[in-house]
Amino acid sequence: MPSRPVRRRNPPRAVAHDPAVGTEVELETTGVAHGGIMVARHEGRVVFVADAIPGERVRARVTEAKSSFWRADTLEVLEASPHRREHVWSEASVTRDPEGRAGGAEFGHIELAHQRELKRQVAADALARIGRIDDAPDFTVQALPGGDDAAGTGWRTRVTLHVAPDGTVGPYAARSHTVIPVSSLPLAVPELAAIAPLTERLGDAASVDLIAPAEGPLQIVTARDGSRPPLAAITERVGDREFALEALGFWQVHRLAAATLTGAVQRAIDADAFDPRAANLDLYGGVGLLAAAVGDRFGQATRITSVESYESATDFAARNLAEWVGARAVTGRVEQWVRGRAENATATERGRQRAATIVLDPPRAGAGTEVVAELVSTEPAQVVYVACDPVAFARDAKAFAAAGYAIRSLEAFDLFPNTHHVELVARLSRD
């Protein structure tokens, strides 16, 4: 097994314009910031430090020096937090040189309960400081069933590996596109970890995707220079319900995530405010997971439109939602699809829009203020927001709040143990 990282054709990790870059500093970390990094101060300047924990003293190397803040990598832990543990992935450990640490498990050195507390702090802080929301319900970040078993490993049903010019296969390093050779993939479900081509040389490939669907064989999809082979359909399952999708189509990554979000969305919807005949929406709908969650809770008469930009996903969503005659799947970009929806509607349709429950599950960037403005202009009865980025959610929640939509319920889930990611499910409505 090679131990030296292999560089891809990509910019260097830090551009050493500032003489501070590359210097070593001793830091005391005081808090956690968005993105899995900790906050410290050096001579009054904020420093964002990777691979530390709040309350630690570390020796760190500066990797970026801007006028308003620096970034640094931990080289040595001088005084450890009581929450520090051996990293779940030795190849991502602080004992390695920072440029040779595997990325994707940036909280793997922190006890699981404390990881969840740090994620809660980041989300609460984003709501307070970015969302300017001071009345959000209290919440904790909930572990998934069995989430603390095996130190939070063995949950990823999707893994993307990258291929260096010499054919080495591995994950990228944290914060760079350097391919890191590794001997294990602890966050992957064991059956995927077992088939990963970690010892192979794939000189003519760009990336390798590994997928463990709920049904059928494991999938290995090798892409060459951005092109992919034709993709098979796979089957995922939530309870008794099956979902068909393209092998590389979007599906929640944790093996229990789809079921967890189904339950959370069903709980979040206020049944008294739900009208099955309304113009209900499932925005950023993928293959219809959350539209099905709504339909399963409110029955055969449920009307709901799922909007998704990726055509193949919409085709599958139409199949997956076929049992609801009032369900339809539309291909389109949400920001375009919602534009002018209120003005172009008939009086009857405007009434249905006002009675609507809108579920939205945008990508990491969030929905954005323009989409929120279009949605609130139709005065929907309630909005259920599924968020994979607390800062983007806080920005959007602020825009909802400006239109009188407050957060009425809020749950958070640890769908990505040993990483900094957290998923939120919130219901927003007006008084």
Ligand X SMILES: C[S@@+](CC[C@H](N)C(=O)[O-])C[C@H]1O[C@@H](n2cnc3c(N)ncnc32)[C@H](O)[C@@H]1O
List the catalytic residues.
Answer: 388
- Looking at the Cβ atoms of 196 and 259, the one nearer to ligand X is 259
Residue 37 interacts with ligand X (CB under 6 A): yes or no: no
Q: Does the footprint of ligand X cover residue 285 (CB under 6 A)? A: yes
The interface region with ligand X, picked from 9-17, 171-179, 309-317, 376-384 by CB under 6 A, is 309-317
C-alpha distances in angstroms, 197 versus 188, 194, 202, 212?
A: 13, 9, 9, 15
Please give the Cα distance from 338 to 333 (Å, whole number). 9
The span from the CA of 260 to the CA of 270, in Å, is 18
Residue of this chain nearest to ligand X (CB atom): 286
Between CA 320 and CA 316 the distance in angstroms is 6
**Smallest gap from residue 162 Cβ to ligand X (A):** 21
142/309 with CB nearer ligand X: 309
168 within 8 A of 2, measured Cβ to Cβ: yes
Asked if 252 touches ligand X (CB under 6 A), the answer is yes
Size of residue set near ligand X by CB under 6 A:
18
Instruction: State yes or no: 284 annotated in a binding site.
Output: yes
Lookup: tokens for 132: 């300017």
Residues 334-353 that bind ligand X (CB under 6 A): 334-335
220-239 residues near ligand X, rule: CB under 6 A: none
CA distances from 390 to 159, 177, 279, 331 (A): 23, 25, 27, 27
Q: Which of 274, 284, 393, 416 forms a contact with ligand X (CB under 6 A)?
A: 284
Residues 170-204 as b or e (16 or more Cβ within 10 Å = b): bbbbbbbebbbbbeebbbbbeebbeebbbeeebee
361 annotated as ligand-binding:
yes
Beta bridge partners of residue 130, listed in sequence order: none
Task: Work out how close the CB of 110 gets to ligand X at its nearest, in angstroms, rounded to a whole number.
Answer: 25
Tell me the C-alpha distance between 85 and 80, whole Å.
Answer: 9
Query: Exactly one of 286, 366, 380, 417 binds ligand X (CB under 6 A); which one?
Result: 286
Closest to ligand X by CB, 289 or 304: 289
Give the binding site for ligand X (CB under 6 A).
250, 252, 284-286, 289-290, 307-310, 313, 333-335, 361, 363, 388
* Annotated binding-site members for S-adenosyl-L-methionine: 252, 284, 308, 361
